[in-house]
Amino acid sequence: MAAKFLTLACIRNESFGGLSPRPHYPSMPKYPKGVSETERDVEGSEAKAVFSVIGMTCSACAGSVEKAVKRLPGIREAVVDVLNNRAQVMFYPSFVNEETIRETIEDVGFQATLIQDETNEKSIQVCRIRINGMTCTSCTSTVESSLQALHGVQKAQVALATEEARVHYDPKIINHNQLLEAIEDAGFEAILISAGEDMSKIQLKVDGVGTHNSMRILENSLRALPGVQDIDVDPNVHKFSLSYKPDVTGPRNLINVIESTGNGRYKATISPEGGREVHRKEEIKQYYRSFLWSLVFTIPVFLTSMVFMYIPGLKHGLDTKVVNMLSIGEILRWVLSTPVQFVIGRRFYTGSYKALRHGSANMDVLIALGTNAAYFYSVYSVLRAATSEDFKSTDFFETSSMLISFILLGKYLEVLAKGKTSDAIAKLMDLAPETAILLALDSEGNVINEEEIDSRLIQKNDVIKILPGAKVASDGFVIWGQSHVNESMITGEARPVAKRKGDTVIGGTLNENGVLHIKATRVGSESALSQIVQLVESAQMAKAPVQKFADRISKFFVPLVIVLSLSTFLAWFLAGKFHGYPKSWIPSSMDSFQLALQFGISVMVIACPCALGLATPTAVMVGTGVGASQGVLIKGGQALESAHKVNCIVFDKTGTLTVGKPVVVNTRLLKNMVLQEFYELVAATEVNSEHPLAKAIVEYAKKFREDEENPTWPEAKDFVSITGHGVKAIVRNREIIVGNKSLMLDQKIVIPADAEDMLEEIEAMVQTGILISIDGELTGVLAISDPLKPGARDVISILKSMKVKSILVTGDNWGTANSIAQEVGIETVIAEAKPEHKAEKVKNLQASGYIVAMVGDGINDSPALVAADVGMAIGAGTDIAIEAADIVLMKSNLEDVITAIDLSRKTFSRIRLNYIWALGYNLLGIPIAAGALFPSSGFRLPPWIAGAAMAASSVSVVCCSLLLKYYKRPKKLDALEMQGVRVE
């Protein structure tokens, strides 16, 4: 089940013209409609073109490009990679040319350029960068704009919740150092996470190095090593950051080079990569320290201004005049609040300067303006008191210092809460074991040495020993031993899977009862676990369409708040100046100017753009993380948003509603023939097909060749796959046709009455009938059974109760399709459907007003998966189906369809709640801070309380999203036992 899932190719970029790897399946449509048999012999004239497509933002864009290109005549295959903004088209030049394809892509609304120099080197690379210092969506927009403006950058995504940027760029035009410089020029700290997805990255700490010259010698030694791509050196801490090709070299080789260069004087170790968690912990510590230091100064300021003034003895001491009207209390507050304003609050000044320098305004601008207004007015008041014999000053030093303290407390709590949104990734990473037992083998395969090593030091082709009860240290295959491995943490398969020589294993799974020796095939970022982590991280980076609402607001939010704040100040000041309200409204400790200033500052600091910016990404982060822990991989906010609206689901049959492991249960021969010879001819034909029914026939045929484990079948010439119908080939100079009834009729093969009766009987038993013709005569009928997944009927019933319509679309015959549909409770059935018919049916349903999800597992489902609003791929299905889908159901359980829809609905109700809270908070808070309640009730919101409320709003939005961590599947699913049926 897990083997096919290992690639998770939507993340990786390897060969195949720089696009995600896609195996060729004979069942893909090959020729334009109406092309005759003779014209189909133009295989040699097939051509390939790769286009750079700029402007795609999500899988829906990729789907529209793919659909438009596939409609052209002469297109054999079109593959659109939204991650790398590329389209690869296989076509027949006699029907269509590159320029027509390019114009078609541009007609869809995207800029397309033909890539002439198509070499093995990837034209587009993806760079991941951590960004420190972003506070709200205004910051993300600034960084995105700075990156998009660079020549060579195709797409830039910046996520506030993850504090990361993912940049798609052309390495021939621009390098990752220039990307880092652009971010730093925009006023933020940039740290490279990875550049180029075909490389592994490692950080090595070297002990024993004395001079910078020694570091240079080590750097030159490492650069000379084959496979080393890029080296960054930090000589101060004796650290190397290296990118290397795992096919060529590995971490042990790098460490050996360092230690041998120093003749044993140097000791190299892998240092932590400084991942998101390390940075998050450091950020939490920084805010905690800043908050504690601000308290040290703020508490005395608060006590002298708000508490000691009511204690007679202390009040007299604080009111003692030093110079003219300047008192000891005012000097104390001034001295104590200054370090809070300019040292501890320095981050707000730097953040404001960086934002304003690039023509944008963020939360730091509001805080800096508010605290400066309070502080500098207080300084003016104190200085005037020192130079006047009759001016009685009122200072607001407590306002500025308490404001900064509460905001730092809010940021500390917010970062603490945001750290918990990525718990799912941390749990996935923890599945990998820390150590592994490395075996050294002699030329005959005997073990000559065992060594326990850090699992991060495993290299490709290493032989690793896995003890009973230990976790498998790396993806690979068994070369010795037998055992059972629990793969539920990766695939969801409940029962342990038997493993023996030649079987694949997945890193992070649990070996149960035997010793295994495995050869490592995928290490580092190539492993299944890393791919899943990357998929979840990628999903958390992608913005949901609903987030555009917050992005639009953020552009004018801060300027609008500044205008409202100034308007509030002027309105109250002018009203006081011209006696617009009774003097009794003014508190005894201040005048009308000070009252107006407090109202203005309160408006400025109560407004919170952060809460709006965090409303969507934090909920999407937690939602996708929870989904991953439940075996539902959701590829980003777009898929999550579409899934919650789904009201119609189109199910494929084989491998989706059924187990997907068909077996031959009956054979009827219509001609005198030896059964072994019959199956040799049929198997020789079907062995070229990837279809599950073909595989079932080949497996059954092996029973007649029991003496061989992997028998070789006779050569099949002129093999042709007729999509949705069957196959034909010439075997031993005999024409063999294997397929359904419609294929036989198309090929003008007569179907006798007794064969018709057999087909009816087979279909009545919910089995699939396959007809075999040899030299133009119907020779045999096979009955193939693919049992229904347990609980399929219950799933359809639950979907009905959720007001979701279910439809069955299959390439199988009508009889079998109707029998299956009746058994599970589906009313609408489309049978004998070719791949393009499935996609057309999806489009028709969309035209009728349905939001359609397609659930499938095969290559022939990929057009429909792309066409649907939400494509859901069964995890055990083909790689191409997994790539085409928006949601991957890793456990291959139908119940996860319900989990995916229910989780998306819960996530979006949480996002709506976040927006109601964030918007409602600002819409209510700003008028109250502006003094809307003051005339009627005398209620006034002091600036420091307004600042505390602003800090609390961000924390409350993040905590609201975090409640999703306690998501539970619908209770109806708990009663279902749907762990799959194993067909031996």
| Residues tagged active-site | 652
Q: Residues 6 or more apart from 231 whose CB is under 8 A from it?
A: 219, 222, 223, 240, 241, 242, 243
Place of tokens 């945001």: 418
Provide DSSP, 442-489.
-TTS-EEEEEEEEGGG--TT-EEEE-TTSBP-SEEEEEE--EEEE-HH
C-alpha–C-alpha distance, residues 494 and 505, integer Å? 16
148: Cβ contacts below 8 Å, ≥ 6 apart: 155, 156
Structure letter (DSSP) for residue 715: P
Apex 86 CA angle, 85 and 91, nearest 5: 155
d(CA 936, CA 26): 79
Q: Where are the alpha helices (DSSP H) in 319-394?
A: 328-339, 346-357, 363-387
Closest Cα to residue 703, out of 733, 680, 670, 731? 680
Whether the CB-CB separation of 858 and 654 falls below 8 Å is answered with: yes
Rounded Cα gap, residues 652 and 856, in angstroms: 5
Amino acid, single-letter form, for residue 308:
F
CA angle at 903 for the pair 867 and 893, rounded to the nearest 5°: 70
* DSSP β-ladder status, 510-511 and 483-486: antiparallel
Residues constituting the chain: 984
Cβ–Cβ under 8 Å, residues 254 and 242: yes
- Distance CA(115)–CA(93), nearest Å, equals 17
Please give the angle made by the CA atoms of 70, 73 and 74, to the nearest 5 degrees. Answer: 90
Strands 125-132 and 189-195: antiparallel
C-alpha distances in angstroms, 697 versus 667, 686, 704, 727, 792?
11, 7, 12, 13, 25
Closest CA to 589 of 319, 933, 946: 319
Q: CA 666, CA 783: separation in Å to the nearest integer?
A: 5
What is the CB-side half-sphere exposure of residue 276 using CA atoms within 13 A?
26
The DSSP result for 927-976, as a single string, is: HHHTTTTHHHH-----HHHHHHHHHHHHHHHHHHHHGGGG----HHHHT-
Name every residue whose Cβ is closer than 8 Å to that of residue 891 and which is 6 or more positions away in sequence: 491, 492, 493, 631, 875
- In angstroms, rounded to a whole number, what is the distance separating the alpha carbons of residues 874 and 897? 9
DSSP state, 117? -
**Bridge partner list, 125:** 169
Do residues 85 and 27 make contact, with C-beta atoms less than 8 angstroms apart? no
Instruction: Compute the distance between CA of residue 223 and CA of residue 436 in angstroms, rounded to an integer.
Output: 28
Q: Residue 400 carries which DSSP code?
A: H
Query: Which residue type, as a one-letter code, is found at position 835?
Result: P
Specify burial of residue 552 (Cβ count, 10 A radius: 0-12, 13-18, 19+). exposed
Residue pair 718/729 in contact (Cβ under 8 Å)? The answer is yes
Judge contact between 957 and 412, C-beta under 8 A. Answer: no
Count CB atoms within 10 A of the CB of residue 307.
Answer: 11
Half-sphere exposure of 775 (CA within 13 A, CB side): 5
Rounded CA gap, 746 and 748, in Å?
5
Structure tokens at 393: 């000053």
CA 576/CA 572 separation, integer angstroms: 6
